[in-house]
Amino acid sequence: MKRWFVPRPVFFKREFNRTWPFLVGFTVTGTIITKFSLGLTGTIHYSLEEGKRGGEWVYSWVNGFRVLIWVKEIY
């Protein structure tokens, strides 16, 4: 029985060689946008030393997002 030629691997290799710069560009751009947009949410990073001093987690609205922040004192 004769084996049929399958064009898919050839097609995907050729298309990847042609479009990889766009894929890398979209990945880098998406990463930068995600990093900057998460930086604008105003999240506060928690450290173990703050936990030893006392305080509590509180939900708050920051820039239209509901975020969980660490607060030492509530006024």
pLDDT tens-digit series, residues 8-43: 888 888 888 899 999 999 999 998 888 877 766 555
pLDDT greater than 60 at residue 46: no
Q: What pLDDT does residue 26 have?
A: 95
Q: Which two tokens stand for residue 47?
A: 């450290």
What pTM does this model have? 0.42
User: What three-state secondary structure class fits 31?
Assistant: helix
State whether residue 69 is helix, strand or coil.
strand
**What's the CA gap between 26 and 20, in Å, rounded?**
10
Percent of the chain's residues with pLDDT above 70: 69
- Report the number of distinct structural domains present in the chain: 1
Pairing mode of beta strands 56-62, 65-71: antiparallel
**Locate tokens 């042609």: which residue?**
18
- Given a contact cutoff of 8 angstroms between Cβ atoms, the answer to whether 58 and 68 are in contact is yes
What is the domain range of residue 48? 8-71
In a domain, 1, yes or no: no
Task: Please report whether residue 28 resides in a domain.
Answer: yes
- Residue 38 falls inside a structural domain: yes
In a domain, 24, yes or no: yes
Residue 17 lies inside a defined structural domain of this protein: yes
Domain membership flag for residue 35: yes
